[in-house]
């Protein structure tokens, strides 16, 4: 399955609107009540914007000509109350939606992280971590702005425009139609370029994600760039990605700001037209007909004109922000919609032999069209030690990855304890199979927290209980090798402890699991002889029933194995003895 979240792949897959909106609704449905309250606040605030100019015009028509100060003061007081209520409910709406917006983004970020935890290793091989971080941080921040402010402001502007449009038509049909005709022209133009705006924003977000990935990769490999004096390589690479981001961001900025000046010009033009026609219809024509000129109605139209086209101008800006949010949600949705192709299946067949693990005609390729393991057959008995040897790139680590089910076989089947390995739940499988890599990874925190990680049987044990457990296995004193014992702090990247100490923690973590199968992928290749002997002592404390699969180049490790598998070119051979193994190794080195 292709998990790449690249621009090219995104263009190949069209999003279905009902699914996109359906997933968004599931993220916000628990907050619909609060959003409903905020909408009521919005209606009240919008009503004050619509009612106030109407009252001003009515007062002007009725009480200004007669100089009725008492009634005039009453309406001034009413207007003051209306404006105060509008401000109050506007504040309540902003405060409530700010809270709702953050809760929604909190849920979305949790959903993204939960999804990332559920996806297979293949997904992370195909995507840069910086790009994924960008989706968690940058894209959700754009969504946060939309939920906290933009969405309700946009809705409020629609309500105000609709209400004022109706009021204009009621006050004077001709002037109302002029305003609405202008509105329709502006909305049509917006709709016409909305796709272009969304495309520019999606491209900008994609390039921003690539920039984040470049920064993350450069910082992660900084030591390498220093050792090989290749700072210039990372600098040039960053400059190229940064330039692509600048071009994309510039395009998005132009797209997001293009509507504001257009709406300003159109709004000013429409206001001028309404004023000219208003003077003619409400003043000149009325005077010529012998009727009283409607100064108040004209004033209402002037106020409405401002309240009509200013929200329209604001909608242009908000529309661009919504396009950014839509583009962000599209990127988030593509991630949340991914499915893990490594599902737990029902095991219909169980082998009756006593093998711990069996590879039955297994072939595998990271790309199904390009196999790197071909028809592999392996039988692993309980309690034995197996060595996987062969040239670099031959398929040893890939074979080990299939054993622990980091990937599924492309063809054939793998059995563990008589069952299809795919029928085990991940927690069950990880508790039975240990995997130690050449480069151990430790989380920031304490040694105790790292040892307990993923081990449900000891997660609630105290440090004293863990020390007692190690002592019962004949490993007392191990924790004394660290400055503060199990409470020794580990910095991010575990830079404050040596590689040997890191590997020691990894071995302790595995030994406490008492796995049925332990895979060591060059686990002692980078440690000194003394540390290697200590690690060997730890391995000897494993139950005799534990099967060990060792990927190694050291002769003593190979010689001590019960069975050797030679893996080269994705194919497995079973040498008769140590001597024939060495012949195969020497021949493979000669060919390379």
Q: Is residue 15 in a domain?
A: no
In eight-state DSSP terms, residue 281 is: I
Q: Is residue 552 in a domain?
A: yes
Whose structure tokens read 């508790």? 431
Closest CA to 331 of 112, 169, 545: 112
- Both 463 and 328 in one domain: the answer is no
Q: What are phi and psi of 345, to 5 degrees?
A: -110, 165
Closest CA to 329 of 17, 13, 2: 17
Closest CA to 217 of 331, 335, 123, 132: 132
- Both 370 and 301 in one domain: the answer is no
Considering its fold, how many domains does the chain have in total? 2
Write out the DSSP string of 64-95.
TTTT-HHHHHHHHHHHHHHHHHHHHHHHHHHH
Whose structure tokens read 């039988």? 379
pLDDT > 80? residue 11? no
- Both 325 and 179 in one domain: the answer is yes
Pinpoint the alpha helices (H) of 221-294: 222-227, 231-257, 259-278, 285-288
Q: Is residue 24 in a domain?
A: no
Q: Is the dihedral angle over the CA atoms 60, 62, 63, 66 positive or is it negative? A: positive
480: number of Cβ within 10 Å: 9
| Separation CA 339–CA 89 (nearest Å) | 44
pLDDT, residue 27, reads 79
Tens-digit pLDDT profile for residues 488-527: 898 877 778 888 888 888 888 888 888 999 998 887 777 7
On the CB side of 317, CA atoms within 13 Å amount to: 12
In eight-state DSSP terms, residue 30 is: G
- Both 491 and 567 in one domain: the answer is yes
- Both 504 and 444 in one domain: the answer is yes
Q: Are 572 and 557 in contact (CB under 8 A)?
A: no
pTM (2 d.p.): 0.70
143: CATH: 1.20.1560.10
Predicted confidence band of residue 378 (pLDDT cuts 50, 70, 90):
very high
Beta strands 385-389; 411-416: pairing state = unpaired
Tens-digit pLDDT profile for residues 180-228: 887 777 777 777 777 777 778 778 878 887 787 777 766 666 655 555 5
Tens-digit pLDDT profile for residues 278-307: 787 777 877 777 776 677 777 888 888 777
How far CA 238 is from CA of 132, 214, 223, in Å, comes to 18, 6, 16
Q: What are phi and psi of 347, to 5 degrees?
A: -85, 105
The range of the structural domain enclosing residue 571 comes to 357-591
Name the more confident of 169 and 352. 169
Whose structure tokens read 């902003």? 94
Q: What mean pLDDT do residues 530-542 have?
A: 82
- Both 361 and 488 in one domain: the answer is yes
pLDDT > 80? residue 169? yes
Name the more confident of 310 and 435. 435
């Amino acid at each position: 399955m292709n998990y790449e979240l690249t621009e090219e792949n995104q263009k190949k897959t069209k999003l279905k609107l009902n699914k996109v909106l359906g997933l968004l609704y599931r993220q916000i449905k628990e907050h619909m009540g609060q959003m409903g309250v905020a909408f009521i606040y919005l209606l009240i605030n919008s009503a004050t914007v619509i009612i106030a100019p109407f009252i001003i015009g009515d007062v002007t028509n009725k009480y200004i000509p007669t100089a009725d100060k008492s009634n005039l003061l009453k309406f001034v007081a009413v207007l003051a109350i209306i404006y105060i209520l509008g401000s109050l409910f506007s504040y309540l709406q902003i405060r409530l939606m700010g809270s709702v917006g953050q809760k929604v983004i909190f849920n979305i970020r949790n959903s993204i992280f939960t999804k990332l935890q559920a996806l297979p290793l293949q997904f992370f091989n195909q995507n840069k971590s910086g790009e994924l971080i960008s989706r968690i941080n940058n894209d959700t921040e754009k969504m946060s702005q939309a939920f906290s402010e933009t969405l309700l402001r946009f809705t409020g502007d629609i309500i105000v425009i609709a209400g004022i449009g109706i009021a204009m038509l009621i006050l004077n049909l001709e002037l109302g139609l002029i305003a609405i005709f202008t509105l329709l022209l502006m909305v049509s133009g917006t709709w016409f370029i909305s796709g272009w705006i969304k495309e520019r924003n999606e491209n900008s977000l994609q390039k921003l994600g690539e920039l984040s990935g470049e920064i993350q990769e450069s910082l992660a490999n900084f030591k390498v760039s220093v050792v090989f004096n290749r700072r210039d390589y990372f600098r040039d690479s960053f400059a190229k990605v940064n330039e692509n981001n600048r071009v994309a961001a510039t395009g998005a900025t132009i797209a997001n700001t293009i509507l504001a000046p257009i709406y300003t010009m159109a709004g000013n033009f429409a206001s001028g037209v309404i004023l000219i026609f208003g003077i003619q219809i409400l003043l000149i024509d009325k005077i010529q007909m012998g009727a009283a000129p409607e100064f108040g109605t004209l004033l209402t139209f002037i106020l409405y004109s401002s309240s009509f086209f200013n929200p329209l101008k604001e909608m242009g800006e908000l529309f661009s922000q919504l396009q950014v949010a839509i583009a962000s949600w599209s990127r988030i949705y593509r991630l949340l919609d991914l499915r893990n192709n490594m599902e737990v299946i029902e095991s219909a067949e169980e082998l009756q032999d006593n093998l711990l693990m069996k590879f039955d005609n297994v072939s595998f390729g990271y790309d199904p069209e390009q196999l790197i393991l071909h028809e592999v057959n392996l039988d692993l008995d309980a309690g034995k030690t197996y060595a996987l040897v062969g040239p670099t790139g031959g398929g040893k680590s890939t074979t080990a990855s299939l054993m622990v089910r980091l990937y599924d076989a492309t063809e054939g089947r793998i059995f563990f304890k008589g069952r299809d390995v795919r029928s085990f739940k991940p927690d069950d499988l990880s508790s039975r199979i240990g995997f130690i890599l050449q480069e151990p990874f430790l989380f920031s925190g304490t040694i105790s927290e790292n040892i307990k990680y993923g081990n449900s049987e000891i997660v609630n044990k105290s440090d004293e209980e863990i020390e007692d457990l190690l002592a019962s296995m004949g490993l007392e004193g191990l924790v004394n090798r660290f400055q503060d014992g199990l409470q020794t702090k580990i910095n991010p990247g575990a830079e404050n402890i040596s590689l040997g100490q890191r590997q020691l923690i990894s071995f302790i973590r595995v030994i406490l699991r008492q796995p049925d199968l332990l895979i060591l992928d060059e686990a002692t290749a980078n440690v000194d002889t003394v540390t290697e002997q200590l690690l060997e002592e730890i391995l000897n404390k494993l139950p005799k029933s534990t099967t060990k699969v060792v990927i190694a180049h050291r002769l003593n490790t190979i010689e001590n194995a019960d069975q050797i598998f030679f893996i080269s070119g994705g194919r497995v051979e079973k040498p008769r003895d140590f001597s024939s193994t060495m012949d195969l190794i020497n021949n493979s080195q000669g060919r390379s």
